[in-house]
Amino acid sequence: MENGKKGRSPWKWVIRTVMVLILIFPLFFPFHFLEHLKAHFTGAIEGSVITGQWHVVLINIILFVSFLIPLSFRKKVSWKEYGLVAAFFISLFIEMYGIPLTIMFFSRAFQTTTTAPIDTLFTIRMLGVGFAFTLPMAYGAVLMLLGTVIVIVGWVTLYKNISKDGLVTHGIYSISRHPQYFGFLMVIYGWIIGWTTILTLIFGIVLFVMYVRVCVKEEKEMGKDHDYNSYKKEAPFLF
């Protein structure tokens, strides 16, 4: 077994405190996030959404479905699980950059004419398309970036120790027993915040429940391992 340092070192608590502050950030700007939610669920942003950019749809689907590769590093492939994740990203990006069906539906239902309910913080241009970011969208992007970094660090940590026997409990695995899943859930959470629609909420909640259950299942499979039970006392479930 590769032992992490025992005890609750201060830097670990600093990291966890920062993560908590990041996750509760919307509570400090409730108006912006409530207006963002309202705009999506009334279709008020229909006039400002990106449509018909199918090259952006395809690139994003390929990029985010690739998350399944590092997530599969510790367990057998579940095609049902992967199909659900793929369906989430396909429907998400088709709606974001192809045809915003949910936004159009709510726009017709509420007959709103408002097209810019929230102030734009900044705009960037990529792939020939201008992407405007509101505060909630920028926050969601930060969550996705951090989640991506966590997934990559978790994958690299495992890959470097693939030839060694026993558990990997050092590095990022000394902070979380399931860092890759936690990072992936951050990505999902970021998309829910940044693009809050019926589709993202339904898929997002299902994926959250599914991956927490995967973590619990892995814990049960390792339950008879004395080293793993000792490790559980040193590192939290997710973070």
Instruction: State the average pLDDT over residues 24-29.
Output: 91
pLDDT in tens, 111-142: 555 444 567 888 888 888 888 888 999 999 99
Q: What letter represents residue 223's amino acid?
A: G
Q: For residues 165 and 88, which has the higher predicted lDDT (pLDDT)?
A: 88
Considering only residues 196 and 72, tell me which one the structure prediction assigns the higher pLDDT. Answer: 196
Gap between the Cα atoms of 214 and 227, Å rounded: 20
Cα 30 to Cα 97, 164, 194, 200, distances in angstroms: 27, 48, 14, 20
User: Which pLDDT score, from 0 to 100, does residue 139 have?
Assistant: 95
Average pLDDT on 31-54 reads 82
Q: Does 84 or 108 have the greater pLDDT score?
A: 84
- Cβ-based burial of 221 (10 A; exposed 0-12, middle 13-18, buried ≥19): exposed
Confidence of residue 96 (pLDDT cuts 50, 70, 90): confident
**Residue 135's pLDDT is what?**
92
**53, pLDDT greater than 50:** yes
Q: What is the pLDDT of residue 39?
A: 84
Going by C-alpha positions, the residue among 182, 171, 157 that lies closest to residue 238 is 182
Report the share of the chain in percent with pLDDT over 90: 15
pLDDT in tens, 208-221: 988 888 888 888 88
Q: Give residue 72's pLDDT.
A: 59
- The vertex-31 CA angle with 119 and 120, nearest 5°, equals 10
- List, as one string, the DSSP characters of the chain: -BPPPPS--HHHHHHHHHHHHHHTGGGGSHHHHHHHHHHHHHTTTGGGS--S-HHHHHHHHHHHHTTHHHHGGGS---HHHHHHHHHHHHHHHHHHHT--HHHHHHHHHHT---S--S---EEEEETTEEEEE-HHHHHHHHHHHHHHHHHHHHHHHHHHTTTS-S-B-SGGGGT-SSHHHHHHHHHHHHHHHHS--HHHHHHHHHHHHHHHHHHHHHHHHTTT-HHHHHHHTTS-S--
Please tell me the least confidently modeled range out of 25-34, 154-163, 228-237. 154-163
Q: Specify the pLDDT at position 116.
A: 47
pLDDT recorded at residue 167: 81
Q: What does the pLDDT average to over 190-201?
A: 88
More confident residue, 137 or 160: 137
Backbone angles phi, psi at 74, to 5 degrees: -105, 0
Report residue 69: phi and psi, to 5°.
-65, -55
With 90 as the cut, is the pLDDT of residue 146 above it? yes
pLDDT for position 149? 93
Cβ-proximal residues to 56 (8 Å cutoff; 6+ apart), any chain? 50, 93, 97, 127, 129
Mean pLDDT of the chain, nearest integer: 81
